[in-house]
Chains A and B, each alone.
Chain A
Amino acid sequence: MFKRTITIATFIACFTASAAQEVNVYSYRQPFLVEPLFQKFTDKTGVKVNVVFAKKGMAERLKREGKHSPADVLLTTDISRLVELQDKDLLQPVNSSDIKQAIPAQYRSADNTWFALTTRVRNIYSAKRLGKIDFNYEDLAKPEWKGRVCTRSGKHPYNVALVASMIAQHGEVKTLAWLEGVKNNLARKPQGNDRGQVQAINQKLCDVALGNSYYFGNMLKDEKQKVWADSVYINFPNQSNRGAHVNISGIAMAKFSPNADNAKALIEFLVSAPAQQMYAETNMEYPVRQNVKASELVSSWGEFSADTLPLETIAKHRKTALMLLDKSLFDL
């Protein structure tokens, strides 16, 4: 039995080691989102795309594999993962004038090691029964919302990034006070996922909730969840001041990429207009390429202004954000 295990192990090893026109991707993004794009890429270039999908520990795996790592391209959601890879010196810069031109500066690293592919807003959903309201994130801590706010865990990367952007704007002391205020206003202990919060609004458990923009589109497309989405407005916060907090899904090339040319080709392909169009459509996100429009449904939510602070700057406050979340006992 063991012998057979080894045979199979060696077989797989040989398979992954032989590098004939392929590109290896470590992906935090779900296969169903990216596979159609990879298929297009393969059709166009003849380069086969191999994927491993995982969320926790990809950076660590890459680090441990060191210079023998088979990984070429890393595909992630959330700015923090990209910055983590960058901080651990696991990436290499990709110099491409096309990419630079296509992506706004706030959504790529200054050293060209990572790039956003799509953007998503951290929205505030509010019950339709309240009428249209203009929100600032800061409002969630106001006494008038006592017992009316819902959110998923504060430690979720999307919320951590939001808290980091608050620190970038207001500093630590004010942000801690804000967190304590929001915690006091919670209708229930942070739990569930973003869609669950909209469901809770629909069931009148709370009136406002934090949630990413694409979930709204995905709920509208789902027969059962459409009812939930129909009972809320999607609000773009802080429109009269710094703009809404935006997070990204992004891409980077591994430091020891064995198929660097193919990796670069894949990155350029994913930034190209047709791929951007497709990417944005499948998951209701905003394309990062400036001249590509969001899907019809997403566009129908209206224009908005986004926080222009570079994500790299916001990400620097991540650790502090986590500490403040601990300090305010936000999830407990």
Chain B
Amino acid sequence: MISGNRSNLWKIISWVTASLLVLPIIVMLMSGLSATTELFSHLWDTVLPTYIINTLYLAIIVGLLSTLFGVVSAAIITQTNVYAKNILRWLLMLPLAMPAYLVAYLYTDLFDYAGPVQRYLRGFFGWESPSDYWFFDIRTIFGAGVVISLVLFPYVYMLARTAFELQDKNLHRASRLLGFNTFQTFYKVSLPLARPAIAIAVSLVLMETLADFATVQYFAVNTLTTAVYDTWLGYGDLSAANALASILMLMVFFVVLFEQKARMKQRHQSNRPTRGSQVILLSTFKQILASSFCWALVFLGFLLPFLLLILMAYEYASLDQLEALISTGVNSLELSFYTATLTTLIALILVLYKRLHQDKLRGVPVNLAGFGYAIPGTVLAMAMLATFGPLDNFINELALKVGIDEPGLILSGTIFAIVFAFIVRFSAIANGTLTSGVEQISQSIDLAPPSLGVGQFKSILKVHIPMLKSSLFIAWLLVFVEAMKELPAVLLLRPFNFDTLSTQIYQLISDERLEQGAIGAILIVAFGLIPIIWLNKNEDKV
């Protein structure tokens, strides 16, 4: 364990970083406190109850479906001899690269009454009006829940898969020896052992769902974020909007609490992933079932929307569009790279602080740092302006007094604000991934190096970080991909003449011309794919 001066330094760094990340949220909550009750009671009497019920309903659907999709596919990949396993293994990660708002836009368009699918069916069967046949209504909470789950389930899949793979296979053998069949072994041994990882992943998915605005909007579903936007942009009451956003925070607080309670008593001392363990041999029927399940997820979560984008690009794109996209693409890459690297580094510091220190409150910084994920990007952007705007003004006043040129808005008016907002928003992802990774490391390993007389920092560098390598890569990758897709914070905080791929696509979508943004959308997905594929290739090495 860590002690001494360096330990204190670590402690201070952890607390200061966490406080900085939570600062904009506090500024937001403070502003919420000054909200007037008049608008609230109006909302409460009219639309708010429905919004809250919709939000809960959506969270439940997404929670259940993403768990189902993620855990079952992870189990199939790790425990069976499903056909084309090595390809499916990484194909199942691809939906991550798809921005949810984009898939929502494409799917509502595709499956809508006036969309091509239903139009074709009507033409084929000679139906005339909606009363002639039944077709699922895509613009419902359920439709939104399915689509959100389809793009977010890879979180659950990735963390569950890693957890399954790191399990001590001797436990499985023991279970089999005790007379349990393969299904019972999975249910009684593998699943409970993977539960912490699954809980973390599902809580991440839920946070993203709660913060979502653009996606549900395409489904014409009104949730709490709708209320946040209505009060702010419609009624022009930012304080009330912040107060509503605090309700979202409260929900997240419960999600985090639930997640931690759920796995509090779990501690695994044994961690000896043994290679060459037995896989379940599937019968032909089960083989077909398992394959269809995985391929359906890959198809609906990635291939179909990607294909639609390619078709659009083929129809509408021109070469000069591509040229214009290069500089915006570089901006996107740069932002995502900074964000992913800094966020992962911060997460490593906070997670190891929690793991290796003795302080009673050692778990607080990592939890604090994770709250930003549930704040809608635009609301977070407002909080950034509220936090750094005054600071900028102070700096400028100071400069005037000292007699040097005013530096301008160096904090709130530059990419500093964007990267900061991204870190606040995506810390939960990196924290969760690393926490899940750390928990797979046996506690005895923490104790081994000191008992052998090896220094603490050396032991972290030589033992923990190598053991966490795979989690570190996954964390970096997830944040990178999310930063690539993130829209509202960039949109509002960017400096002049600064575009990213997502802002460019947004501009076209908001003019109802996604077709012309198809190439940009493909680039976002492609840039997201690069690290996923790279990770897959190097997985065995890391």
Partners in one complex: yes
> A residues engaging B (CB < 8 A)?
1-2, 4-6, 8-10, 12-14, 16-17, 24, 30-32, 50-58, 60-61, 64-70, 84, 87, 153, 155, 160, 188-196, 199-200, 202-205, 215, 319, 322-323, 326-327, 329, 331-332
With A52-B496, A200-B113 known to touch, is A65 a contact of B235 (CB < 8 Å)? no
C-beta contact mask, B388-401 vs A, less than 8 Å → 1, else 0? 01001100100000
A9 touches B414 (CB 8 A): yes
Tell me which residues from 469 to 496 in chain B have a Cβ below 8 Å from any Cβ of chain A. Answer: 488, 491-496
The distance from the CB of A202 to the nearest CB of chain B, in whole angstroms, is 7
The distance from the CB of A284 to the nearest CB of chain B, in whole angstroms, is 12
Once the chains are docked, how many angstroms separate the CA of A32 from the CA of B495? Answer: 18
* Chain B residues whose C-beta falls within 8 Å of the C-beta of A31 in the assembled complex: 507
A12 touches B507 (CB 8 A): no
- For chain B, give the interface size range: 35 or more
Q: Which residue of A lies closest to B341 (CB)?
A: A1
Is there a chain A Cβ closer than 8 Å to B497's Cβ? yes
With A200-B113, A203-B114 known to touch, is A64 a contact of B386 (CB < 8 Å)? yes
A5 touches B113 (CB 8 A): no
Is there a chain A Cβ closer than 8 Å to B46's Cβ? yes
Stretch from B90-98, B402-410, B457-465 at the A interface: B402-410
Per a CB cutoff under 8 Å, which of B234, B405, B415 touches A322? Answer: B234
B382 touches A68 (CB 8 A): no
The distance from the CB of B65 to the nearest CB of chain A, in whole angstroms, is 22
Q: Which residue of B lies closest to A62 (CB)?
A: B385
Is there a chain A Cβ closer than 8 Å to B498's Cβ? yes
Known contacts A69-B409, A191-B139, then 4 further A-B pairs from the complex at CB < 8 Å, ordered by chain A residue? A12-B498, A55-B491, A57-B382, A66-B389
> B residues engaging A (CB < 8 A)?
42-43, 46-47, 50, 108, 112-114, 119, 128-130, 139, 219-220, 222, 229-230, 233-236, 238, 338, 341-342, 378, 381-382, 385-386, 389, 392-393, 396, 405-410, 412-416, 419, 488, 491-498, 503, 507-508, 510-512
Once the chains are docked, how many angstroms separate the CA of A37 from the CA of B113? Answer: 39
Once the chains are docked, how many angstroms separate the CA of A69 from the CA of B412? Answer: 10
The distance from the CB of B428 to the nearest CB of chain A, in whole angstroms, is 21
Tally inter-chain residue pairs, CB-CB below 8 A.
161
B510 touches A30 (CB 8 A): yes
With A51-B496, A326-B47 known to touch, is A203 a contact of B119 (CB < 8 Å)? yes
A9 touches B415 (CB 8 A): yes
Once the chains are docked, how many angstroms separate the CA of A160 from the CA of B236? Answer: 14
* Chain A residues whose C-beta falls within 8 Å of the C-beta of B495 in the assembled complex: 12, 16, 52
B114 touches A12 (CB 8 A): no
Per a CB cutoff under 8 Å, which of B129, B416, B507 touches A9? Answer: B416
Per a CB cutoff under 8 Å, which of A57, A205, A326 touches B42? Answer: A326
A65 touches B413 (CB 8 A): yes
Once the chains are docked, how many angstroms separate the CA of A66 from the CA of B464? Answer: 48
The distance from the CB of A144 to the nearest CB of chain B, in whole angstroms, is 18
Once the chains are docked, how many angstroms separate the CA of A194 from the CA of B236? Answer: 24
B114 touches A205 (CB 8 A): yes
Once the chains are docked, how many angstroms separate the CA of A247 from the CA of B222? Answer: 26
B220 touches A52 (CB 8 A): no
The distance from the CB of A5 to the nearest CB of chain B, in whole angstroms, is 5
Once the chains are docked, how many angstroms separate the CA of A87 from the CA of B108? Answer: 37
* Chain B residues whose C-beta falls within 8 Å of the C-beta of A2 in the assembled complex: 342
Once the chains are docked, how many angstroms separate the CA of A83 from the CA of B229? Answer: 18
The distance from the CB of B345 to the nearest CB of chain A, in whole angstroms, is 9
11 pairs, CB–CB < 8 Å, chain A vs chain B: A1-B338, A12-B414, A12-B415, A56-B378, A60-B382, A64-B386, A65-B412, A153-B220, A192-B108, A202-B114, A323-B46
* Chain A residues whose C-beta falls within 8 Å of the C-beta of B407 in the assembled complex: 10, 13-14, 17
A9 touches B512 (CB 8 A): no
With A12-B415, A203-B119, A332-B222 known to touch, is A189 a contact of B139 (CB < 8 Å)? yes
B406 touches A331 (CB 8 A): no
Once the chains are docked, how many angstroms separate the CA of A241 from the CA of B378? Answer: 42
With A5-B419, A60-B385, A66-B393 known to touch, is A190 a contact of B220 (CB < 8 Å)? yes
B409 touches A13 (CB 8 A): yes
B496 touches A50 (CB 8 A): yes
A56 touches B491 (CB 8 A): yes
The distance from the CB of A66 to the nearest CB of chain B, in whole angstroms, is 6
List the 4 closest pairs (A to B, CB-CB), nearest first.
A191-B220, A64-B389, A17-B408, A50-B496
Q: Which residue of B lies closest to A1 (CB)?
A: B341
A68 touches B42 (CB 8 A): no
* Chain B residues whose C-beta falls within 8 Å of the C-beta of A66 in the assembled complex: 389, 393
With A57-B378, A65-B389, A322-B230 known to touch, is A331 a contact of B412 (CB < 8 Å)? no
Once the chains are docked, how many angstroms separate the CA of A10 from the CA of B415? Answer: 9
B409 touches A70 (CB 8 A): yes
The distance from the CB of A190 to the nearest CB of chain B, in whole angstroms, is 7
Once the chains are docked, how many angstroms separate the CA of A8 from the CA of B335? Answer: 11
* Chain A residues whose C-beta falls within 8 Å of the C-beta of B488 in the assembled complex: 56
Once the chains are docked, how many angstroms separate the CA of A10 from the CA of B378? Answer: 24
The distance from the CB of A221 to the nearest CB of chain B, in whole angstroms, is 11
Q: Which residue of A lies closest to B415 (CB)?
A: A9
With A84-B236, A196-B114, A204-B128 known to touch, is A329 a contact of B46 (CB < 8 Å)? yes
B414 touches A68 (CB 8 A): no
A160 touches B47 (CB 8 A): no
Once the chains are docked, how many angstroms separate the CA of A16 from the CA of B407? Answer: 10
* Chain A residues whose C-beta falls within 8 Å of the C-beta of B512 in the assembled complex: 193-195, 215
